[in-house]
Amino acid sequence: MTKNIVRLALASLFTISLTACVSTSTEVKQNTAYEFPIILSAQQPVLIFPVSLHGVPGNDREVGLAITAGVTGKHGASVVSSQQLYDVVGNLSWTVGENMRRHVNQGNYALTGSAKRIADDLTGAIQKLTKTLKSTGVIKDKGFNFNRVIVLHVDSSGGIPVPGVNRVTAFGGIIDLENQAVVSYIEKDLVLADGYDAVLAQMPMEMNGIIEDLINKG
């Protein structure tokens, strides 16, 4: 156990020193119809939708679980992860993320028009996830329903190859399910070390940073 902790700590330090030498960028867009910062609470937690990972070294399932475990470890009962139910929804985070990207970059935060079908698919998927989370005891209140969800996708990105690192882009945001609108959107370039232990150490920190950017915690 101690050896694993030391190994992850060393991997984290290596990743920080390595990525400091490579430029990254972050773009956050906010829907002015909402007040920021967004408050997360245990009374009305936000759902972390299953994240799909493309271009991230290692086992996607294990990295995905490590990412969301890091988020719940920091935010406690104010967030609920459904990463363990990835098979229920598959790669839907990519589809939703791409639609968010297209609509928000056009200045449209409402998931209407061509995005309406995707919004309906997302609502249906969340109903399935919520039902399973209740049946497994993760959610105790049988009458509870999520009104906000964080949907993020991580995909490989281009650029000049750098030996020993992997470039990926995380994109997605917070969606108001009741009004079918994007609350905030982020697109962030990440530079990952080319090593499984380093990725396991880095990705939870990156995801927590992304969520703080989305809620504008400051």
Mean per-residue pLDDT for 96-111? 93
pLDDT band at 5 (very low <50, low <70, confident <90, very high): very low
- The proportion of the chain whose per-residue pLDDT surpasses 90, expressed as a percent, equals 66
Mean per-residue pLDDT for 51-71? 89
Contact 202, 195 (CB under 8 A): no
Contact 173, 186 (CB under 8 A): yes
Q: What are the sequence ranges of the domains in the chain?
A: 2-215
Looking at per-residue pLDDT, the higher value among 213 and 114 belongs to 213
pLDDT tops 50 at residue 13: no
Mean pLDDT, all residues of the chain: 86
pLDDT tops 90 at residue 15: no
Looking at per-residue pLDDT, the higher value among 185 and 22 belongs to 185
Contact 126, 146 (CB under 8 A): yes
How distant, in Å, are the alpha carbons of 71, 126, 199 from that of 82? 12, 9, 21
pLDDT band at 49 (very low <50, low <70, confident <90, very high): very high
pLDDT band at 31 (very low <50, low <70, confident <90, very high): very high
Q: How far apart are CA 210 and CA 1, in angstroms?
A: 29
Q: How far apart are CA 214 and CA 6, in angstroms?
A: 31
Give the pLDDT of residue 25.
Answer: 76
Taking Cα atoms as reference points, which of 123, 102, 124 lies closest to residue 113?
102
pLDDT tops 70 at residue 22: no
pLDDT tops 70 at residue 14: no
pLDDT tops 90 at residue 178: yes
Looking at per-residue pLDDT, the higher value among 210 and 6 belongs to 210
In the chain the first and final C-alpha atoms are separated, in Å, by: 34
Mean per-residue pLDDT for 32-58? 93
